[in-house]
């Protein structure tokens, strides 16, 4: 199996609005006709003309719906979100009972403050109900060593710049090594036919497999194509290679 990052698109083309002011975007999970009371509403503050981390990319709601549909398995699970941005998947996981650490680049204090705002908008108190930390891919800083034991690492749309693919993989390999049995589950958007992480997976002794996305969103009556906006998005799982 190859893990090319295929396709082509402009990574800014999901931004169709022109407003620079902050607005709140609402995401609804569940609430279908068969279980209308089983419903979660998340409100995400966004600034469309801000940096990458201030709005919710198409990969995020897809990962969030995937987590919502496995919410029974999330209770008390310890989850780290990398490159969280507005943090929709991690916030959904926390609302489903997981103990979540949200992270983004430690050199972007405004992005980390925006993550905290996303948490507070959803009645999650940083430091109490959820944690927010600066964690830069490829750098094994104190924040990485201070992380709790993890069951799951998640990320939405972090493979968008090939110059940092190895940094992400190094961080993931290190964390999977420290947390045997944990998995890294992430969504990525195809942007270039030339991008591929296969050699990096081999180098860092990792194994990747694709996760079928056909049923994601069905419980909430959501069509994933609505979020994809014409892009191709994949859901992958990475684990440590089992010793032979």
Residues in contact with ligand SAM by CB under 6 A are 52-53, 56-57, 59-60, 83-86, 104-105, 108, 111, 136-137, 156-158, 160, 164, 167
Nearer residue to ligand SAM within complex by CB, 179 or 187: 187
CB of 132 to ligand SAM, least distance (A): 12
Q: How far is the CB of 52 from ligand SAM (least distance, A)?
A: 4
Q: What's the CA gap between 142 and 51, in Å, rounded?
A: 25
Query: How far, in Å, CA of 40 to CA of 124, rounded?
Result: 14
| Least Å from the CB of residue 23 to ligand SAM | 15
Judged by CB, which is closer to ligand SAM: 7, or 32?
7
Helix/strand/coil for 242: coil
Paired residues of 132 in beta bridges: 102
Closer to ligand SAM by Cβ: residue 35 or 141: 141
- For residue 90, the minimal CB distance to ligand SAM (Å) is 9
Q: At 53, phi and psi to the nearest 5?
A: -85, 0
The CB density around residue 105, as the number of other CB atoms within 10 Å, is 19
What minimum distance in Å lies between the beta carbon of 25 and ligand SAM?
A: 11
Helix (H) or strand (E) holding 224: helix 224-228
If the CB atoms of residues 38 and 237 are measured against ligand SAM, the closer one turns out to be 237
Using Cβ positions, the residue closest to ligand SAM within the complex turns out to be: 85
Cα→Cα distances 145→92, 121, 178, Å? 25, 29, 10
Task: Select 156 or 201, whichever has its Cβ closest to ligand SAM.
Answer: 156
DSSP state of 72: G
């Amino acid at each position: 199996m190859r893990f090319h990052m295929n396709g082509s698109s402009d990574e800014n083309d999901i931004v169709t609005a022109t407003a620079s002011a902050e607005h709140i975007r609402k995401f609804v999970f569940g609430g279908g006709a068969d279980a209308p009371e089983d419903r979660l509403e998340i409100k995400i503050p966004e600034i469309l003309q801000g940096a990458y981390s201030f709005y919710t990319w198409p990969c995020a709601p897809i990962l969030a719906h995937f987590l919502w549909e496995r919410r029974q398995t999330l209770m008390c699970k310890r989850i780290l979100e990398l490159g969280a941005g507005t943090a929709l998947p991690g916030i959904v996981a926390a609302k489903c009972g997981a103990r979540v650490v949200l992270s983004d680049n430690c050199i972007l204090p405004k992005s980390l403050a925006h993550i905290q705002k996303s948490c507070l908008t959803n009645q999650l108190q940083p430091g109490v109900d959820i944690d927010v930390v600066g964690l830069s891919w490829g750098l094994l800083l104190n924040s990485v060593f201070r992380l709790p034991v993890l069951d799951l690492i998640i990320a939405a749309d972090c493979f968008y710049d090939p110059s940092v693919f190895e940094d992400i993989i190094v961080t993931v390999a290190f964390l999977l090594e420290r947390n045997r049995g944990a998995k890294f589950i992430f969504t990525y958007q195809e942007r270039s036919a030339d991008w591929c992480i296969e050699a990096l997976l081999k180098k860092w002794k990792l194994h990747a497999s694709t996760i079928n996305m056909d049923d994601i969103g069905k419980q909430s009556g959501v069509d994933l194509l609505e979020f994809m906006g014409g892009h191709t998005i994949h859901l992958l799982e990475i684990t440590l290679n089992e010793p032979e």
